[in-house]
Structure 1
Amino acid sequence: MKGDPSANAPPALVRRRTVLHFPGFEPLDAAAHRTRYARTAAQSVSVWDLHVKAGPLQPGEGETDVAFFDVCCQAANQEVQSRIHLFEHDALVRHFSKGGLVMRLLAGFRAGCRVVYQGGVVAYFRNAWRFGLFFLFPFLFIGLALALTVGLACLPLMFGFGIWTLIVTLPLAAIAFARLFPILSARLHVLHLLADWRMAVAVSALDDPVVDHWLESRVAAARAALQTASDEVVVSAHSMGASLAVHVLGTLLEREPQILAGRQVVFAGLGGALLQCALLRPAGRLRAHVGRVAAQPGLVWFEVQCLTDAIHFYRAPPVALCGHRDAPQPRFVFIRLKQMLKAERYRRIRLNFLRVHRQYVLAADRRAPFDFTLMTAGPLPAARFAYFSQSRLPKLGADEMSASL
């Protein structure tokens, strides 16, 4: 995209908004996501001079079990009503995290081998080398832990004891590994990351009936959510949620090409890991959905990225890398955590790579080019966030809003 395609459009503020939010790979159900949103919105109030009230969580209506909640926002005498549908996948997180330690390790390594065989690792390092390191991390950690365990079991041999001592030391080392590994790896979320790779492989190949059922039910949920009249539709997709969002939206457009006709639609990738799945060879259907979504007339797609976040494909063009170089390409919106957060808060989280990766859906301490609450509940059209930068921040005063538009 060159320039702002809506630069000559008449000023318009959003009064009613429909949001389809696809969270990342986190063990949180709809109630937990709604609670976090309300907490984040409360922090955004002081930063943006907003008045935001998140309503109670409501169960899904009709054929869908996707919960939603309403948000009322007041800024500069403008009132905005937003309905946020939570396409959380806690059931899938639990599905890929079940089983004992040995089963989870074996299943995780099997998924890792499939990623290697399907060309994922080469593609990761070619397009975003830090994401390649992110892939390697849990497997290297486990390999090191196993090597230390075997080394400890073999330690008596170095002091002249016979090989028969392994009959005793190997079982003891295995017991120690089973007891200590979950504790030592919990802070680094190693087992959680193995589950993430299991899900990435399944979302790519569409060979798991649990994933297939989840996606099919969410297509129906998206259709139901889009029946609500609103000024704009925002599809916000954080991390792994990007692949799920593209599958759901792409399938819906495949079946009902006119479902979004005449609607103002924004697709916002937040630290998007769409290419985590899409770069695997079996992900042909996902790549086709990427092209279908990108080619939707009037749809604005932008990617919010941060250099210090290793769990996404920094500056990698997702649509082009999925084989659709002639389709409209997403814009990049770059944020810097140092400019968004207080120094103390930044120091506290900067070495926690999963916490940094969650910042896209959390509140900042200072005004920045992107704010999750402002995009999903505020008065400015979400498409505006594709054109903000640190030198041109959103402005919410009565006169300033018109100038921003």
Structure 2
Amino acid sequence: MLRGGDADRDAQAPNREAPTGRIARRLFIHIGGFDPAPPEQVYRLFARETGRFRRVWSALTTMTEPEHRPDGADWTIETTGRNWRVSTRIRLVRWDDLMEAYAAAPWWRRIGRGVLACLDFVVGGALHRYVRTAWRYALFFLYPPLTVLAFAVAAGLGGAALSRATGSALAGALLGAAAFTALLSGPGRWFKLPLAFDDWTFASAYVRVPPKILADRLDRLAADIVAAARDGEVDEIVLLGHSLGAVLAVDAIDRALALEPDLGRTGPPVALVTVGSSVLKIALHGRAARFRAALARVAVADGPFWVEYQALSDVMNFYKTDPVGDAGLVPSGRPLVRVVRISRMLDPDYYRRIWGRFFRLHCQFVRGNDRRTAYDYFMLACGPLAVRETACLPDGPASAFATDGSLIERAPANVAAERAGSEIVLAQ
């Protein structure tokens, strides 16, 4: 079954070949963040958001139904512009099944484990480094434990008031305990505290060693990347990691390089894209030696191209930071950091409606845009330009397409824009 709404118009599209050297076939691997959405839900969201992509870029799309497998799901999207055509195999790497194990525990246990995990990040020096590196992220970190503390204070004050009024310390203690439980089980769940604490519980464990089921999955992903590079059936391999998925993406590339040190130097180009990244969330923990070593190896590998996109309005990413240098490693010139504006991606009225909905803003990195800007998730997945070229253009894909959606004939972008990792490239 074809999806996308414009399948019936596909035959009417101009049958012109893409300019020489452009991408016609791509393997695009997506690793999402700590969001317990099953592959079916991710696929439906992807299909829905292609509507925005088609409107903004005057493109046509057709999509196959997903093929499910234990590690995720695959589907193909065919994208046609005025003078270009791209076939992309989307590979979704799932780990929502790992999150289900956390969610299966009672809410009070999830919150208790999460509080201990947050304390682990404080003791491990991460909070201090968050404040120094990206204070907005420090506030995001403090949100769950401070909310629990506020509930405890409110319940304690209520209990104390009843104790004074009745002269019974027992009555006050019982009321305080009942109120605290009610706040956690009611408003606490509305504020998604159990999920937020699950995130930190997982991160605390990952700092030391990934769960075996996830490590095995990353090993299989690394082997698939290497096999695709050796097969040479695609023009580009892209691995995009969003949020905590960016950590897994770095880990996967490190494992792939261990299997094939020439990855990206021979065969098709390989690109690592990290968006709304939590790389420093893990790397700034004092005990994250294993991950920092992997990060250091990926940072100096000259095969895969690495670009990271950051945004001010996303409090769940590390804004204007160097994921390598700020992790205490020697800056290597990677990744290329592009600072973009989510407000420029969306219709102004819609942006005003979602402003303050931090998780929704965070997820815009993997949604369709309302405007042509320097960052576009679907152009990275479905567009005719290689990720390296898109990332190095001054205004990203907005620099390369005419109003009618045709690709402007030009020489490849000057990759001198790929600067030292400590240099931040601002984009409008």
TM-score, normalisation: structure 2: 0.85
Cα displacement (A) at 1:18: 0.9
Tell me the secondary structure at the aligned position of residue 302 of structure 1: strand
The reply to whether residue 100 of structure 1 matches residue 106 of structure 2 is yes
Residue in structure 2 matched with residue 45 of structure 1 by the alignment? 54
Residue in structure 1 matched with residue 171 of structure 2 by the alignment? 165
C-alpha RMSD of the superposition: 2.2
Residue in structure 1 matched with residue 158 of structure 2 by the alignment? 152
2:264–2:303 CA contact under 8 A, matched in 1: no
Residue in structure 2 matched with residue 304 of structure 1 by the alignment? 309
1:305–1:335 CA contact under 8 A, matched in 2: yes
Matches within 5 A, 1:286-305: 286-305=291-310
2:23–2:86 CA contact under 8 A, matched in 1: yes
1:47-68 C-alpha deviation (Å, 9 max, x unpaired): 01111222211123xxx63321
1:98–1:104 CA contact under 8 A, matched in 2: no
1:366-385 C-alpha deviation (Å, 9 max, x unpaired): 11111101111111111123
Distance 2:54 2:215 in 1: 35
Residue in structure 1 matched with residue 4 of structure 2 by the alignment? none
Distance 1:312 1:70 in 2: 30
2:223–2:259 CA contact under 8 A, matched in 1: no
1:97–1:192 CA contact under 8 A, matched in 2: yes
Residue in structure 2 matched with residue 181 of structure 1 by the alignment? 184
1:290–1:322 CA contact under 8 A, matched in 2: no
1:380–1:401 CA contact under 8 A, matched in 2: no
Distance 1:226 1:252 in 2: 6
Q: 2:202 aligns with which of 199, 207, 210?
A: 199
Residue in structure 2 matched with residue 5 of structure 1 by the alignment? none
Comparing 181-190 with 36-45, greater Cα deviation is found at 181-190
**For the structure 1 residues 11 and 318, does the alpha-carbon distance in structure 2 shift closer, same or farther, using more than 3 Å as the test?**
farther
Distance 1:106 1:256 in 2: 42
Distance 2:79 2:53 in 1: 11
1:20–1:222 CA contact under 8 A, matched in 2: no
1:18–1:226 CA contact under 8 A, matched in 2: no
Higher relative contact order (CA 8 A, sep 6+): 1
2:28–2:91 CA contact under 8 A, matched in 1: yes
1:242-294 C-alpha deviation (Å, 9 max, x unpaired): 11111122123224324444130111111111110111122111111112222
The reply to whether residue 354 of structure 1 matches residue 378 of structure 2 is no
1:76–1:396 CA contact under 8 A, matched in 2: no
2:226–2:260 CA contact under 8 A, matched in 1: no
Residue in structure 2 matched with residue 31 of structure 1 by the alignment? 40
Tell me the secondary structure at the aligned position of residue 59 of structure 1: strand
- Partner amino acid, structure 2, of 1:52: T
The reply to whether residue 220 of structure 1 matches residue 223 of structure 2 is no
**For the structure 1 residues 164 and 135, does the alpha-carbon distance in structure 2 shift closer, same or farther, using more than 3 Å as the test?**
closer
Q: 2:23 aligns with which of 14, 36, 39?
A: 14
2:27–2:237 CA contact under 8 A, matched in 1: yes
Matches within 5 A, 1:5-404: 12-60=21-69, 65-166=71-172, 170-206=173-209, 211-228=211-228, 229-262=233-266, 263-390=268-395, 393-397=398-402, 400-403=407-410
- Partner amino acid, structure 2, of 1:101: W
Q: Which runs of 5+ in 1 are unaligned?
A: 1-9
**For the structure 1 residues 387 and 178, does the alpha-carbon distance in structure 2 shift closer, same or farther, using more than 3 Å as the test?**
same
2:33–2:241 CA contact under 8 A, matched in 1: yes
Distance 1:160 1:96 in 2: 41
Cα displacement (A) at 1:326: 4.6
Distance 1:148 1:129 in 2: 27
Tell me the secondary structure at the aligned position of residue 409 of structure 2: helix
1:205–1:282 CA contact under 8 A, matched in 2: yes
Tell me the secondary structure at the aligned position of residue 84 of structure 1: strand
Comparing 354-363 with 332-341, greater Cα deviation is found at 332-341
1:334–1:389 CA contact under 8 A, matched in 2: no
Counting aligned pairs with the same residue, the percent is: 27
- Partner amino acid, structure 1, of 2:45: R
1:394–1:404 CA contact under 8 A, matched in 2: no
Residue in structure 1 matched with residue 420 of structure 2 by the alignment? none
Tell me the secondary structure at the aligned position of residue 157 of structure 1: helix
Cα displacement (A) at 1:346: 0.7
Cα displacement (A) at 1:180: 4.1
Cα displacement (A) at 1:186: 3.6
Comparing 388-397 with 35-44, greater Cα deviation is found at 388-397
Distance 2:331 2:337 in 1: 17
TM-score, normalisation: structure 1: 0.89
Tell me the secondary structure at the aligned position of residue 118 of structure 2: helix
2:273–2:308 CA contact under 8 A, matched in 1: yes
Distance 1:86 1:333 in 2: 24
Cα displacement (A) at 1:226: 4.2
Q: Which runs of 5+ in 2 are unaligned?
A: 1-18, 413-428
Cα displacement (A) at 1:241: 0.4
- Partner amino acid, structure 2, of 1:24: G
Distance 1:142 1:179 in 2: 12
1:328-371 C-alpha deviation (Å, 9 max, x unpaired): 32122222222221122111111111111111011111111111
- Partner amino acid, structure 2, of 1:218: L
Distance 1:160 1:121 in 2: 42
Distance 1:160 1:15 in 2: 77
Residue in structure 2 matched with residue 3 of structure 1 by the alignment? none
Distance 1:404 1:40 in 2: 30
